[in-house]
C-alpha cells in the first residue's frame, strides 16, 4: 500500500534546494505544512502566471487575420 496520495506523483529536487525550501517552510509561520505544500504552491502560481501570459499573447495567425480585416475595412 502506497503512502502517497493517489492524485499526486513524486518530483525529485536537489538536496540543497530541499534544504532551502525547508527553511522557508519553517519561516512561513504555518502558511506551509511541508516542503511538498510549498513546492506545489509555487508551481501552481508559476503555471497560472505562465498560462495567463500565454493567453495574453496574440498568435501570428490571429495578427494576419486582423490585418486582413483592417485592410478590407479600408484602415490599412
DSSP 17-36: HHHHHHHHHHHTTTS-SSHH
Q: What's the confidence (pLDDT) of residue 58?
A: 66
Q: Average pLDDT per run of 10 along the chain, which is 76 residues long? A: 74 96 96 96 94 75 84 86
Spatial separation of the C-alpha atoms in residues 37 and 43, rounded to whole Å: 10
Q: What's the confidence (pLDDT) of residue 1?
A: 39
What is the pTM for the complete model shown? Answer: 0.65
Amino acid at each position: 500500500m502506497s503512502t502517497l496520495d493517489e492524485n499526486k506523483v513524486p518530483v525529485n529536487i536537489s538536496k540543497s534546494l530541499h534544504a532551502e525550501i525547508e527553511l522557508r517552510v519553517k519561516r512561513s509561520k504555518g502558511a506551509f505544512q511541508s516542503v511538498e505544500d510549498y513546492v506545489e504552491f509555487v508551481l501552481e502560481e508559476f503555471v497560472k502566471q505562465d498560462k495567463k501570459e500565454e493567453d495574453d499573447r496574440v498568435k501570428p495567425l490571429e495578427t494576419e487575420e486582423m490585418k486582413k480585416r483592417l485592410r478590407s475595412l479600408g484602415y490599412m
